[in-house]
Every structure is written in structure tokens, then in C-alpha cells.
Structure 1
């Protein structure tokens, strides 16, 4: 909804009175220089800088901007800063609650404001991916005619969720997840800043680390937890926010887990070994510890992909596609929803039949190659597609398998040095039992039996 003069005055008063509005609102940046993270979008001369008129020549750039990124990293803040820096009206709508009627009302109001008072409007539309195609179509005239500066935010891939005409008329800015250093700087500023807690309490290192973990890269969540912890500490008359006070306040126990230390590797190792041992409950426990500690979900997904080949292999050929799909989903959605995907994959891998035959096979083959057992390729297998190959005997005598019964040719494929050497020895577990039967028949045919 559009803020009126009374709303604007109330917000200004609340920003001066720490108890008047949430800490996350009071600490909202007013200029691009106060924005946390997103350095790739804030460099001098960037489209975002030009949009607010920095760099000379007045405001420039597109009339539509799409901000894409996970929750809590500053999409609404950037829209607010653009409006504040350009002295434009700021109107915020959410696609969850608004429809075409509300959008058209804002556009008509923007045209009246521009024509009657010479003041342009920034329309911030949150969750634009929730709009249908027809609802998104209603925005096109306003964008094309520059009746409003549209800033739309989405947490979903805009190439899938936003119509092509609107996407082609917009500047797409991808926001990156906030790092621990980004959030650490924000928390420390909130403790001391006049708009924040004004140094009323201190923030010890262990409490700060716990705040970073429970924030999960979300600035709003970090500031909300900090405000709750500070309020509890002040109520107790404590000079600092102790870890125990924060745990009581946010109802989240601090997980002993150092993402750069032994715990990182120990818990990751325990996760994989629990999957290998088919203990699904232990695997989920270690997965939960990693998630709760703020581990990078992409790291977890990579470990699951490795496990699928190392410990399951052909005993369940669906294990690797499941792990790969989980990794792709995690990259697209991030936490907290990624926890569901990682749980899905972990359970599937833990309960899958196990085989390390693929692991031992490539290990044995690599050992032979490293030992120098890598003789010349048999002449009938060599490339024969170039002029002069026939004179060298390359390709001569090669039997084309598809011309033979069963599409198997009884000819030598391996170099003489390892001819007859067997690397892959399948198990009789799960789907690999079928591969074992097939392999037995194939090896017999290759040997001319």
C-alpha cells in the first residue's frame, strides 16, 4: 500500500526512537553505501548506481528492474534506497495479496502524481513470480511508457517464472547470499549505531557466532534474533547478550560445529559413513547438525553425489541421479527449503543397496596405469579415419559389433600388457546382481566361448 503523510511521519519518528519499530526496520539502509553485501552490484558506474543518479548526468537506466535472490538479502531494501535516493514516491505491493485491480490503481495514481505534481513513482512488487501471466501482462504498459519505475523481487528463477516481454524490458540483477562477514558487520553496526541499540549491550564472540548460524544468511532473521536477545539481556540487567540468554530467547541451542575446523570434517565423515552403513537415522542426525550449524548446502550435496558412486554404484543405478537432482535443486532454492531436498537424498542413499565395485574397479585400473601397464592400443582399434591409416594397418581386422549376433565381437580390446585383467567385479546386491549375470555372459562371448 502507498504510505501517506501520516505514515511517513510515523516511520520517521520510529526511526529516531529505538523502541518504536523493529530493529530490522530501523537499520534499513538509506543509501547504497549502507547496503550490506552485493558488492558486484554496487561498484562505481554500475546500473544500480546509475539508476539512483550517481556518476553525474542525473538518474539513468531502465524503467524496470528485477531483483532475484533468496529471502532476507536486501531486495526490499534496494527498492527503498532507489526510491529514497531519487526522491520518488515509494509504493509497495505484494503479489501474494494484490491483483490486477491494485496494480492498475497504483499506475493511475502514478500518472496523476507525475502529471499534476511532477513526482515519479517507484512501484516495488514483491514475490512477482506469484502473479499469473495475465497479471504480469498488466504491468507492461506502465513499464513501456515509464509511468512507474518498476522494481520487482523474486526468489524463483525469473527465466521460468516471469513472462518474456517483461523480462526483456527489465534489468535483471542477481543478488548473492550474504556471507558471514556481511552479517557480522551488520550485527556490529546494529549494536553501536544510533538507529540501533546505541551500545546498550555488548555482543560477545560466541553469541555473535551463534547469531550467524541461526540467521542462515538472512539479515532480517539476524537482526530480529539480536533484538530479542538484547531485550532479554537488558531485562535481566546483564551488560552483554550471553550465549545462554540468546539460546533461551530464540529457542535454538548452539551447535558445536566449526565450519573451518575438525567438526566440519568429522561430522561430514560421520554422515557419509552412516549412509555407507545404511543407518538412516544416524545419517539424518548428522545431516541435521550440519544444517543447523549453517553448513553450505552445496558442500553437503557434493558429498552425497560422491557417496552415490563410491558406496552404492550399480547396486542402485538411481542413486547418482537422485543425488545430482538434489544438488541441482539445492543450488536453485537454498535454505531453508533445501533441507527437505537433502533429507530426501540422504534417506534414499542410506536405504539403497550398497556396492563399492565401481570404486575398486577404477582404483585397480589406475594402479596398473600408474605402474606403467599401459601398452599400445591394438592396431585394429586405432583411428582409421585419416589418409594413410590403412598403410599403417590401423583399423585392419576390426569387427563391427553391430553386424554380429548379440552385438558382441570376440576380439581383443585391451593392450597386451593387461589383456585378461579384470577390474570390475560386481556384487550380488540390488540391481548389480543383474549386471553380474550380464557381465559373466559378455566376458564369455568376448573370449570366444
Structure 2
């Protein structure tokens, strides 16, 4: 039997069972067991290490990273059910460092009494880097097992010492098949869902609702609940949701964000491909679509930094400088003015020559590193920092290129099984 903090329990099922009409559909339909969980099978399917650790109450500190509505809070709720430790939910949106200090103080007291504490921090990226430092000693000492949830890339938003003490679990947007299962269950479930409304959901409307969900189960169920409330009630008390009902209920939102069913990642893909194909007009259009749709400008800037090295590389080394400059500008200027900076560097990246040789070379080198394992560093490339090392051949035969220019091409710099391999093959102008 798991135990929970007495205040602010986000996961107690009793409330959803006793007051279904007062709780949003998305919360009522939240999975209460792994058997109810739809999607994320790669991470928490039967037999997966993370699921085993949760079910055996052996979970160490972990960061759940994924887009909204993919199951981060649900997984935290399942941890709460399976752990014997005190489970304390905490939101970085509504809580602060003073409240966190009280939680840690209580955890220290429990630890002295021989009882563990699991601390769930939702939206952990909302804490700045200095505030995140407050977790470190308590995670390191085992005062708390930390479970963090974030929609932002932990590499950018969380401090390195915290990441090194945690496992990062990447959760993906839910597939259309998973969203379809969640949608059908909510329509049919009479106890927690909308089954008592006797809804008939026509295929075309179902397809559009799934597309509207865009990988986000919470958004899908919130939308379904609203549309169901707007659907006309027939003489027999049943409701039919077709495309006309859907259009009438969601016209404004559908027009702005998802009129054609395009997903967040499709917009990003179209933007990157326009840059890659040296089309500044296409890139500007997709940039505008992302900005108008409310995309985080940090996300766009990060994609530009990646693109500068992945697709332009040494064809124009200034591309990375420019991309980093726009990332800094986004932080310094902020929206709406930062749109100008994003447009400036978008057209620059689209207009520059392209060469992905560095990226391709890295992929090939990684493949060989994995395939061949820990090949030893050739003796002539090792530093002889002690006399013993020198005696056994460290550094022997190494040719100093400043004294011997031929060493640049004659000297082997790879393990013997890979001698002569070429990873970097830049395009010639």
C-alpha cells in the first residue's frame, strides 16, 4: 500500500470516483494502473526496466521529459501507487523554495525515523538554475527520491549535476492509434467517461478529434468533453457528433491551430526542410506558422543551432555563430521583437551553402565505436606521464607535426582495425 502527503495530493483516486461531475474528463480518465495505460510501451510496456523498477518500488531519481499530455503525471501517479515511501507531489508553478524547504525538512525527519520520501516535482524546469541547486544535496544523500516532469529539453533547462544524479526518460507524443483508444474509452466508459451521454461519434469527426489532439491526451479529452456538451440532444437523449457539430464547437481554435490537421512536429519538419533546400520564402512561412501557433521561440532557436552544424557545417562556419547569436537574442529581447531576430537568421541559414559531412562523419564514427567496442588507443598517441609508461612504449614513435610536417598525413590516428577509415568527406565547392 502506498502512502501520500496529506496536502495537495494530485493522485488520490477517491475524488474522481465520488465526484465525477466536478472533475474534468481528462482527470477522471487518468489511468489508475499499468493495465489502463495506453502508449509509451517502449518505456513502460510489460517487462521494460522502468516499469519493473516502479512495480518493485526500486525507482531511483528520474526525470520524465516529454510534450504535454503524453503521460508524465500519470506515470508519477503510478509511482505513488507502488511505492511504500511517503509520496509528496509538488508543482514548480504554484510552489517555491520556502515550501520546498518545509518538504525537505519533513523528509529529513522521516529519514531519521527510517522512512523514505519520494518527491514529485511537476514542471521542474520552472525552477531557475540556482533554485535547482537546492535539490542536489538531498538527492545525493538519499533524503528524497526525486521525480521531475518537464516539457523542456533537460539538457538546456536542468543543471548538469542534477541530470548526472537522475535517469532521463524520454516520452513521445502519443500516436494516433493510442489517442484513438483513449478517445473510444472515454466515449464508452459509463463510470468515469461520457458513456451515460450515449454519444455516437462519426468516423470523420473521430479522425479530426484525434488530429486535433496532436499527440496530447489531455487536450484530446478536454476537447471531447467540450464538444459533447455542445452536441444537440436527440429525442431519445442520445447525441451525435459529426463534422458539423465539431466545426461549430471548435471553429475559432481549429482555424488558428489545426484547421488542416497538421501537427506540431510537421511544422518544424517543414521549416527545417525549407532551410535545407535553401528556400528562405518557405522557411519564413513555416516560421510564421510556428510563431502564430504559440511555439516557444527557444525551441525554434535550438533547432536553428542544430541545423547550423548538421546541414551547413564547415561550408560556412559563421552559420553556427549566427544561430547562437539568435538564441542569445531570444533570451535578451523576448517576444514579440525577437521574431525579427528569428527571421533574420532564418533567411541567413536558408541562403548559405549546405554540407552535412561533419554530421555524417560523426554518425559513421559512432557506428564503428559501438560495433568495435573499446579499441585501445595506439601507443604512439598516448602520453608517457610516468617513467613506467615510457618504458612500456607509451608515446614511442610519435612524430611532432610542427617538427615533421609529413606526420600530418603519414601518422595513423585510429585504432589498428580502423586504419585508413575516412569519416569526414566534405563537399568540394
TM-score normalised over the length of structure 2: 0.59
Preserved contact between residue 66 and residue 153 of structure 1 (Cα < 8 Å) = yes
Whether 2:70 is the aligned partner of 1:70: answer no
Q: Structure 2 CA distance, aligned partners of 1:8 and 1:295?
A: 30
Whether 2:103 is the aligned partner of 1:109: answer no
Q: Which residue is equivalent to 2:241? A: 241
Q: Which residue, 296, 305, 322 being the options, matches 2:275?
A: 305
Q: Which residue is equivalent to 2:22? A: 20
Q: Which residue is equivalent to 2:129? A: 133
Q: Structure 2 CA distance, aligned partners of 1:164 and 1:253?
A: 39
Q: Which residue, 146, 154, 164 being the options, matches 1:150?
A: 146
State the Cα RMSD in Å: 4.3
Secondary structure class of the residue paired with 1:151: strand
Cα distance, 1:49–1:65 mapped onto 2, change above 3 Å: same
Q: Structure 1 CA distance, aligned partners of 2:62 and 2:263?
A: 34
* Length, aligned pairs only: 305
Q: Structure 2 CA distance, aligned partners of 1:31 and 1:331?
A: 39
Q: Which residue is equivalent to 1:328? A: 303
How far is the alpha carbon of 1:125 from its aligned partner?
Answer: 0.9
How far is the alpha carbon of 1:41 from its aligned partner?
Answer: 0.7
How far is the alpha carbon of 1:128 from its aligned partner?
Answer: 1.6
Cα distance, 1:140–1:294 mapped onto 2, change above 3 Å: closer
How far is the alpha carbon of 1:239 from its aligned partner?
Answer: 2.6
Q: Which residue is equivalent to 2:227? A: 229
Q: Structure 2 CA distance, aligned partners of 1:347 and 1:242?
A: 40
Whether 2:33 is the aligned partner of 1:31: answer yes
Structure 2 unpaired stretches of 5+ = 283-299, 308-335, 355-408, 411-428
Show CA shifts across 1:310-363 (max 9, x none). 999xxxxxxxxxxxx77925999xxxxxxx9xx9899779999x99xx9xxxxx
Preserved contact between residue 103 and residue 139 of structure 1 (Cα < 8 Å) = no
Q: Which residue is equivalent to 2:81? A: 84
Preserved contact between residue 52 and residue 85 of structure 1 (Cα < 8 Å) = yes
Cα distance, 1:243–1:294 mapped onto 2, change above 3 Å: farther
Q: Which moved more, 1:43-52 or 1:16-25?
A: 43-52
Cα distance, 1:8–1:99 mapped onto 2, change above 3 Å: closer
Secondary structure class of the residue paired with 1:33: coil
Q: Structure 1 CA distance, aligned partners of 2:115 and 2:246?
A: 46
Cα distance, 1:73–1:3 mapped onto 2, change above 3 Å: same
Q: Structure 2 CA distance, aligned partners of 1:141 and 1:350?
A: 42
Summarize the alignment of residues 116-265 of structure 1 with structure 2, pairs less than 5 Å apart: 120-193=116-189, 194-198=191-195, 200=197, 201-233=199-231, 237-252=237-252
Q: Structure 2 CA distance, aligned partners of 1:83 and 1:214?
A: 31
Whichever of the two has the greater Rg, that structure is 1
Q: Structure 1 CA distance, aligned partners of 2:241 and 2:265?
A: 24
Q: Structure 1 CA distance, aligned partners of 2:203 and 2:140?
A: 51
How far is the alpha carbon of 1:87 from its aligned partner?
Answer: 4.6
Cα distance, 1:9–1:125 mapped onto 2, change above 3 Å: closer
Preserved contact between residue 57 and residue 84 of structure 2 (Cα < 8 Å) = no
Q: Structure 1 CA distance, aligned partners of 2:241 and 2:306?
A: 34
Q: Structure 1 CA distance, aligned partners of 2:121 and 2:202?
A: 38
Summarize the alignment of residues 377-416 of structure 1 with structure 2, pairs less than 5 Å apart: none
Q: Which residue is equivalent to 2:370? A: none
Cα distance, 1:290–1:228 mapped onto 2, change above 3 Å: closer
Show CA shifts across 1:363-414 (max 9, x none). xxxxxxxxxxxxxxxxxxxxxx89xxxxxxxxxxxxxxxxxxxxxxxxxxxx
Whether 2:21 is the aligned partner of 1:46: answer no
Preserved contact between residue 66 and residue 171 of structure 2 (Cα < 8 Å) = yes
Q: Structure 2 CA distance, aligned partners of 1:10 and 1:157?
A: 29
Cα distance, 1:120–1:346 mapped onto 2, change above 3 Å: closer
Show CA shifts across 1:42-62 (max 9, x none). 134433213323xxxx42242
Secondary structure class of the residue paired with 2:64: strand
Cα distance, 1:306–1:142 mapped onto 2, change above 3 Å: closer
Cα distance, 1:34–1:146 mapped onto 2, change above 3 Å: farther
Cα distance, 1:294–1:127 mapped onto 2, change above 3 Å: closer
In the TM superposition, structure 1's runs of 4+ consecutive aligned residues that sit over 6 Å from their partners are 5-10, 343-352
Secondary structure class of the residue paired with 1:139: helix
Q: Structure 2 CA distance, aligned partners of 1:17 and 1:173?
A: 33
Preserved contact between residue 68 and residue 158 of structure 1 (Cα < 8 Å) = yes
How far is the alpha carbon of 1:20 from its aligned partner?
Answer: 2.7
Q: Structure 2 CA distance, aligned partners of 1:77 and 1:29?
A: 7
Q: Which residue is equivalent to 1:429? A: none
How far is the alpha carbon of 1:37 from its aligned partner?
Answer: 1.6
Secondary structure class of the residue paired with 1:122: strand
Q: Which residue is equivalent to 1:372? A: none
TM-score normalised over the length of structure 1: 0.57
